[in-house]
Amino acid sequence: MTSPARTLLAAAPETLLAISSPASLEPNTVHVWSFALEGPQELVAHCRETLSAEERHRADRFVFERDRIRYTVAHAVLRHLLSRYCGEPPASLRFSAAAAGKPSLQSATPLHFNLTHSDERALLAVGQRELGVDLEKVRSNIEALAISRHYFFGSERDAIESAPSPERDRLFFRYWVAKEAVLKAQGIGLGFPLDRFRIEFRPDGETARVETFDPAALESSWTVRMLPCESGWLGAVAARGTEWVVRSLPYL
């Protein structure tokens, strides 16, 4: 299933924090919110007030102010948007974490979510099924060939090696965000070897299925959908099953 592409433009965090109307999920739909992680000091101070004591402590542990700001804004927007779905005040939301660290919302409203960020941007995926999301800024200061040869599955490595040089970095990150989204959806993270499963893109390149070689740890029921990001960015969301679509936000 696919839905019309709608480019994920990064909204200003104050725009999302100003949303006061309830949000609801359509059947078989994953909402993906895109937003920036920077703003004036007044905004950051307001965001900090929304966080729990533990979140404020975590923010304060970052060495660089830039990272403290991005963490604070990301988690304040997360709280506010989830509050729109479950009808509870942002500051009152409670979270728990699975053994591998994947957070979940403690609420009477059945809701799954996943947050990711890269540089100054973030994505939040929300749905009624297990899911994971990843975002990366395409960059050329990485050893795409060396990393893929050492960590990726054979067919993925071959595809990256055979790609024309100008396209190699983008293809590498395409596989990377797809793999990360799957691992986040499963809740096992990068501790799971990247060559123990493969991403098989369909001819359109926008949807992929997962083939796993360790089904006891990683299921094969995930579907990956690439997100319509702006030039220079790549994002992917993974969720259980095939009968679901992505709705790019903000727009309600």
Cβ count within 10 A of residue 59: 21
Per-residue pLDDT tens digits of the chain, which is 252 residues long: 444 467 889 999 999 999 999 999 999 999 999 999 999 999 999 999 999 999 999 999 999 999 999 999 999 999 999 999 999 999 999 999 876 778 999 988 889 999 999 999 999 999 999 999 999 999 988 899 999 999 999 999 999 999 998 899 999 999 999 999 999 999 998 789 999 999 999 999 999 999 999 999 999 999 999 999 999 999 999 999 999 999 998 754
Pair type for strands 245-249 and 29-36: parallel
Q: Which CATH number fits domain 136-240: 3.30.470.20, 3.30.1330.60, 3.90.470.20, 3.40.47.10?
A: 3.90.470.20
CATH code, residues 13-128: 3.90.470.20
| Eight-class DSSP state of 1 | -
Contacts of 211 (CB under 8 A, 6+ apart): 197, 198, 200, 220
pLDDT of residue 252: 41
pLDDT of residue 42: 96
Domain spans in the chain, listed from the N-terminal domain onward: 13-128, 136-240
Contacts of 242 (CB under 8 A, 6+ apart): 1, 223
